[in-house]
């Protein structure tokens, strides 16, 4: 008599799937180590004079899961100077720099290669625009035209759009939509104010 078949493995569930996606991303990052990261450190402004702080509450540490010139995205001539920070869904997203809210989208849900995303755009006094993307559905806490200070609550993070796991995509663009190199005052001098993939960073951003 044949032996009974083993029971099917338990379903991963939502958290398990997110962990599996992160593990896969980390494995890819390790396999491609040395191929990502800033191409030219001289194009970044000095961290000491930077108007930017990390876009989450002060005292909280987050993992940079992909940096500039990344291994999964953030390629040259696209969004080279963007960052992805691991962030549980519902986490507060705070303004990295003061400005005026120009765009808010938080009506979409779900993720995938062609899924529309949610986010907040904040224009700064020099005309540059910070992009905070993958916000959860209904997660915006600001409206277009609203003036925000550095550290102001903008939204709740999510996992919406072209996203494999809950995280915040952050970048700064010029008036033509080109990705710009920036640095953060609260990122250590050893990294020259530029977050690097698979390193943890503690925010100094407080409202």
End-to-end CA distance of the chain: 70
Other beta carbons less than 10 A from residue 14's beta carbon: 11
Residues paired with residue 104 on neighbouring β-strands, in sequence order: 120
In order, the DSSP letters of 133-174 are E-EEEEEE---TT-EE-TT-EEEEEB--BS-SSSEEEEEEE-
- Measured over the CA atoms of residue 51, residue 136, residue 177 and residue 121, the dihedral's sign is negative
- Give the model's pLDDT for residue 24: 56
**Residue 86 sits in a domain of what CATH number?**
2.70.70.10
Query: Which residue, chain included where needed, has tokens 């030219």?
Result: 40
Residue 71 lies in a domain: yes
Give the model's pLDDT for residue 20: 53
Number of domains within the chain: 1
Residue 5 placed within a domain: no
> What three-state secondary structure class fits 43?
helix
In a domain, 154, yes or no: yes
Residue 82 near residue 74 (C-beta atoms within 8 A): yes
Q: Is residue 21 part of a domain?
A: no
Dihedral of CA 69/73/76/80: which sign?
negative
The pLDDT, as a whole number, for residue 52 is 98
Residues in the chain: 207
| Contact indicator for 158, 110 with CB cutoff of 8 Å | no
Residue 12 within a domain: no
Name 188's Cβ contacts closer than 8 Å, sequence gap at least 6.
none
Confidence (pLDDT) at 76: 84
Give the range of the structural domain holding residue 126, as residue numbers without chain letter.
Answer: 41-202
Q: What pTM, to 2 d.p., does this model score?
A: 0.83
C-alpha to C-alpha distance for 147 and 101, rounded to whole angstroms: 6
Rounded CA gap, 136 and 125, in Å?
27
Which pLDDT tens digits describe the chain residue by residue (207 residues)?
555 555 544 444 544 555 455 555 555 554 444 557 899 999 999 999 999 999 999 999 999 999 998 878 888 878 899 999 999 999 999 999 999 999 999 999 999 999 999 999 999 999 999 999 999 999 999 999 999 999 999 999 999 999 999 999 999 999 999 999 999 999 999 999 999 999 999 999 987
CA–CA dist 22, 110 (Å, integer):
17
Reading the block at residue 94, the tokens are 């705070």
Tokens 């939204």 belong to which residue?
155
How open is the CA angle 64-18-108, to the nearest 5 degrees?
90
Q: Could you tell me if residue 7 is inside a domain? A: no
15 part of a folded domain = no
Question: Bridge-partner residues for 129, per DSSP?
Answer: 123, 173
pLDDT of residue 23: 53
């Amino acid at each position: 008599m044949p032996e009974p078949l083993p029971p099917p493995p338990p379903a991963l569930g939502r958290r398990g799937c997110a962990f599996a996606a992160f593990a896969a991303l980390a494995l890819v990052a390790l396999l491609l180590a040395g191929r990502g990261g800033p191409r030219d450190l001289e194009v970044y402004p000095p961290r000491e004079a930077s108007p930017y702080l990390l876009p989450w509450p002060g005292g909280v540490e987050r993992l940079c899961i992909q940096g500039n010139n990344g291994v999964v995205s953030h390629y040259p001539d696209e969004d080279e100077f963007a960052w992805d920070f691991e962030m549980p869904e519902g986490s507060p997203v705070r303004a990295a720099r003061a400005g005026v809210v120009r765009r808010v989208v938080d009506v979409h849900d779900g993720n995938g290669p062609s899924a529309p995303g949610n986010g907040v755009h904040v224009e700064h006094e020099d005309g540059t625009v910070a992009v905070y993307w993958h916000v959860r559905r209904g997660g915006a806490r600001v409206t277009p035209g609203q003036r925000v200070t550095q550290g102001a609550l903008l939204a709740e993070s999510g996992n919406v759009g072209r996203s494999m796991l809950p995280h915040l995509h952050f970048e700064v663009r010029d008036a033509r939509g080109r990705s710009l190199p920036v640095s953060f005052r609260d990122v250590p001098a050893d990294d020259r104010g530029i977050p690097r993939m698979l390193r943890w960073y503690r925010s100094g951003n407080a409202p």
